[in-house]
Amino acid sequence: MDKKYQIFVSSTFIDLKEERQAVLKAVQEAEYIPSGMEMFPATDEEQFNFIKRIIDNCDYYVVIIAGRYGSLAPDGISYTEKEYDYAVSKGIRVLAFVRNEHEIEEKNKDTDPAQSQRLAQFKTKVQTGRVARPWNNKQDLVYSVIISLNKEVSEHPAIGWVRANQVLSSENLVELSQLRKEVIELREKQRQYKEAKKYKDIAEIDEKIHIRGEKYHLWRGEKISEKWQCDITWKQLFVSIAPYLMEFPNDNIVEKYITTIAFSYTGINTDDNLVINSQDFQTIKIQFMALGLVNVSYEKTTKGDMALFWNLTESGKQLMIQWRTIKTTKTNKQ
């Protein structure tokens, strides 16, 4: 966007009238927005409050100092110094230009010793903690102001102003927000992919895992157990349990899901109690985490205890949708 910066030019009025006009003109020609009170200098508190509102809307503040302190406010401080203090208090970038003493004509110097002292103190304040550029004449001042402004804008760009037709519409902002969300999701997928790839020689999703377990039943009051085992691919197992993980189940519930699914691949029909080998279950958990398909973390239960809970990663959700959705059987007709 074509951004423009607003510049407030401050100085005493009568003795620097020509210099101010030249600076304001140069600022405008340099495609900045000049601001100043040329036709309405601060002479009372009501006008000064109006000036403060103008300073609030400016991006940079230029103060030009020569041989006069300026008209005083009721508190004994000149309005020029009050403008400067206000700009500093608002955090606006200040550029100061102090005329070399030997270039100031006697008619443009304060004759009142009290005023001269206040001016000296003001100059000291302005030159403390920042570079105050010296100047000799009008041409010298104009050149110094524009060069300094360009440098300041380059190194410390402010908010600035843009035309209303260049501002993003609400639709653009919604679209930008959606794009930002998609970027975040893609970065998360990339992170999970890299996380999974960092484990060397890890089994691929289509490889098989051998799962062992036991089933229990009562026979004449005695507990009888029989061993069972099956071979199932990581993909088959994940596709089967993935929808249940959207409910954020705890570790015990997931173990039951996996046990039931794995046993279904044995081909045995039974209603007996089933148990999966503990180490096989832990391996399954770790494998799915390493593949970047699930997250497992300690969280508080509804009773205030701590337990392990499972949930799908973004990659896991995408693979679940890809593998569990029903594809169309329609053929395209020309």
Encode pLDDT of 238-291 as tens digits. 999 999 998 889 999 999 999 999 988 988 876 578 899 999 999 999 999 888
Q: Are residues 187 and 218 in the same domain?
A: no
144 occurs within a structural domain? yes
pLDDT of residue 163: 66
Residue of 85, 44, 46 lying closest to 63 (CA atoms): 85
Contact 292, 298 (CB under 8 A): no
Q: For residue 117, tell me if it sits in a domain.
A: yes
Q: Tell me if 95 sits within 8 A of 149, measured CB to CB.
A: yes
What are the two backbone dihedrals, phi and then psi, of residue 231, each rounded to the nearest 5 degrees?
-115, 130
In a domain, 334, yes or no: no
Average pLDDT over residues 124-136: 89
| pLDDT tier at 25, thresholds 50, 70, 90 | very high
In the predicted model, what is the mean pLDDT of the chain? 85
> What tokens appear for 264 in the block?
């279904």
> Is 291 contained in some domain?
yes
Residue listed under structure tokens 């509102």: 53
- Assigned domain for 332 exists: no
Residue 329 is assigned to a structural domain of this protein: no
Query: Is the same domain home to 160 and 89?
Result: yes
Q: How high is the pLDDT of residue 196? A: 59
- Mean per-residue pLDDT, 308-334: 83
Judgement on whether residues 181 and 158 belong to the same structural domain of the protein: no
Q: Which of 143, 165, 187 is the last residue in one of the domains?
A: 165
Instruction: Provide the number of structural domains found in the chain.
Output: 3
Residues 36 and 145 in one domain: yes
Question: What local confidence, expressed as pLDDT, does residue 41 receive?
Answer: 56
Shared-domain flag, residues 173 and 146: no
Q: Residue 330: inside a domain, yes or no?
A: no
| CA 124/CA 175 separation, integer angstroms | 52
141 confidence band (pLDDT: 50, 70, 90): very high
Three-class DSSP labels, 188-205: HHHHHHHHHHCCCCCCCC
At residue 334 the predicted structure's pLDDT band, cuts being 50, 70 and 90, is very low
Q: How many CB atoms lie within 10 A of CB 256?
A: 14
Residue 1 within any structural domain of the chain: no
- The CATH number of whichever domain residue 228 belongs to comes to 1.10.10.10
Same domain, 184 and 136: no
Please tell me the distance from the alpha carbon of residue 13 to that of residue 26, in angstroms, as a whole number: 18
Residues 138 and 152 occupy one common structural domain: yes
Residues 234 and 320 in one domain: yes
Residues 257 and 111 in one domain: no
Do 30 and 110 have their domain in common?
yes
What pLDDT score was predicted for residue 245? 93
> What domain range is 24 assigned to?
6-165
43-80 tens-digit pLDDT: 666 778 888 888 998 999 999 999 999 888 888 899 89
**How far apart are alpha carbons 254 and 329 in whole angstroms?**
34
CA 301 to chain centre: 33
CATH code assigned at 64: 3.40.50.10140
Looking at residue 129, what is its pLDDT?
A: 83
Q: Which two tokens stand for residue 51?
A: 């000036």
**Using one digit for the tens of pLDDT, what is the confidence trace for 181-220?**
777 777 766 666 666 566 667 888 899 999 999 988 777 7
pLDDT reported for residue 46: 72
Phi (first) and psi of residue 218, to 5 degrees: -95, 135
> What pTM value is reported for the model?
0.50
Check whether residue 177 and residue 245 sit in a common domain.
Answer: no
Residues 250 and 310: their CA atoms lie apart, in Å, by 6
Query: In this structure, are 15 and 118 located in the same domain?
Result: yes
Residue 271: predicted pLDDT: 59
Residue 220, phi-psi category: left (phi > 0), alpha (psi -120 to 50), beta (remainder): left
Above 70 in pLDDT, residue 83? yes
